Structure 1
């Protein structure tokens, strides 16, 4: 069975109302199956509260999982808790990406925060981290999903974020994210022929 490794912070753990769940994993698998790409299982290596430095420290977990595809998502804790300046974040992401065959990787940028709920959040800072992730992805040659952009092109981005904490995706947000990830995997599979 083919494997998709989800490696990152709490975004990839499917946090709903403060608890981890299978919501994102289910949406990814369902979307791929609907697109006639069944037979995938997910290896969930997301950890709550992690910065890019934390992820880099355990990159071997993701490498050893030997996924057919690897989805990487860090940055919100770097931005929100200001654990790493944007340049350090970029260096960490670049080192992570270089641990894999570029054709297998999908990098997610930081997303939009509802700052009315998460008042410590700063969307301008989120955008800086998203831009840095895009620059590194282009440099290394991996696919990137600009989550911040996708969330904010809609007139009501707060619908994609939980009212519980203002950070993690709502049910609609996870469905949207699952569809974006599945679409990128489909494109990679079609490119392989």
Structure 2
């Protein structure tokens, strides 16, 4: 069975209604199967509240999982809790990405926050972290999904986040994210021939 490693913060842990879940996993697998790419399993290495520096400290777990694809998602805790400066975040993400074969990596940027629910959230700062992630991805040659952009081009981005916490994807948001990840994997597989 081929493996997709989900390495990152609570976004990849599938937090729903305050608990980790398999909601994102199901959407990724269902989307891939629906596109005639069945036979994938997931290795879940998402941790709640984790910054890029904390992820870097446990990079060996993700490397040892030997995934056929590695989805990386850090930045929201760096931005929201201001655990790492923008430059530190960029260096951490670079080091995390460079731990893997670039052809296997899919990097997710930070997403949109409903600041009515989380007043300490700052979407301008989220966008800066998203731009930094895109810059690093471009420099090291890995695929990137600009989650912030995908969420904010939609007229009602609050529909993509849970009303309970304003940050984690809603059911619709996880379905959307699963489809974006599956599409990126499909494109990588088609490029391989």
- Give TM-score, length-normalised by structure 1: 1.00
**Could you say which residue in structure 2 is the equivalent of 1:23?**
23
Q: CA deviation at 1:57?
A: 0.3
**How far apart are the structure 1 equivalents of 2:67 and 2:31?**
18
Q: Deviations over 1:48-78 (max 9, x none)?
A: 0000000000001000000000000000000
Aligned partners of 2:73 and 2:154: how far apart in 1? 22
Corresponding residue number in structure 2 for 1:120: 120
- Matched residue of 1:41: which SS? strand
Residue of structure 2 equivalent to 1:163: 163
User: Match for residue 2 of structure 2?
Assistant: 2
Provide the residue aligned with 1:61 in structure 2.
61
> Secondary structure at 2:149's aligned position in 1?
helix
- 2:108 maps to 108
Q: How far apart, CA to CA, are the structure 2 residues paired with 1:127 and 1:120?
A: 15
Shift of 1:115: 0.1
| In structure 2, C-alpha distance between the alignment counterparts of 1:120 and 1:41, rounded to whole Å | 36
Distance 2:103 2:128 in 1: 25
Q: Distance in 1 between matches of 2:120 and 2:26?
A: 30
Q: Are residue 130 (structure 1) and residue 130 (structure 2) matched?
A: yes
1:154 and 1:4 map into 2 onto residues whose CA distance is 28
Q: Deviations over 1:110-164 (max 9, x none)?
A: 0000000011100000000000000000000000000000000010000000001
Provide the secondary structure at the position in 1 that maps to 2:117: coil
How far 1:31 sits from its partner (Å)? Answer: 0.1
Gaps of 5+ in 2: none
Measured after TM superposition, the shift of residue 91 of structure 1 is: 0.1
Alpha-carbon distance in structure 2 between the residues aligned to 1:38 and 1:119: 42
1:143 aligns with 2:143: yes
C-alpha distance in 1 between matches for 2:154 and 2:27? 21
State how far apart, in whole Å, the 1-side matches of 2:175 and 2:108 are. Answer: 15
SS of corresponding position for 1:185:
helix
Aligned equivalents of 2:163 and 2:171: distance in 1?
Answer: 11
- Report SS of the residue matched to 1:188: helix
3-state SS, counterpart of residue 150 of structure 2:
helix
Q: Please tell me whether residue 46 in structure 1 is matched to residue 51 in structure 2.
A: no
**Separation of aligned partners in 1, 2:103 and 2:62:** 15
Give the aligned CA root-mean-square deviation in angstroms: 0.3
Cα distance in 2 for residues equivalent to 1:42 and 1:190: 20
**Unaligned segments of structure 1, at least 5 residues:** none
Partner residue in 2 for 1:35? 35
